[in-house]
Structure 1
Amino acid sequence: PASKSGSSSLEDLTENIIDVEYTKTRLSKTKKELYNAYKEYTEGLQEILDIFSDKISETFNNFKSEWDIKFHVPSSVQTFRDLISNDVELRIDDGGGFNTEQKGSGLQRLAVILLNFEILKRMEDKSHIICIDEPDIYLHQGLQKKIKKFF
Structure 2
Amino acid sequence: MTDATPLAAEVVELVPALAVRLRLSALFEAAGSGLTPSQLLCALLVDQAEGRKMTTGSLAKELAMSGPSTTALVDRLVKVGLLARARGEDRRVVWVSLTERGAGAMERLRQGLRDRVVHVLEAMDAPARRALVEALAQVAAFADQVALPHPSPA
TM-score range, shorter chain: 0.3 to 0.5
Larger helix proportion of the pair: 2
Q: Which has the higher contact order (CA 8 A, sep 6+)?
A: 1
Scaled by the length of structure 1, the TM-score of the pair is: 0.34
Larger radius of gyration: 2
Scaled by the length of structure 2, the TM-score of the pair is: 0.33
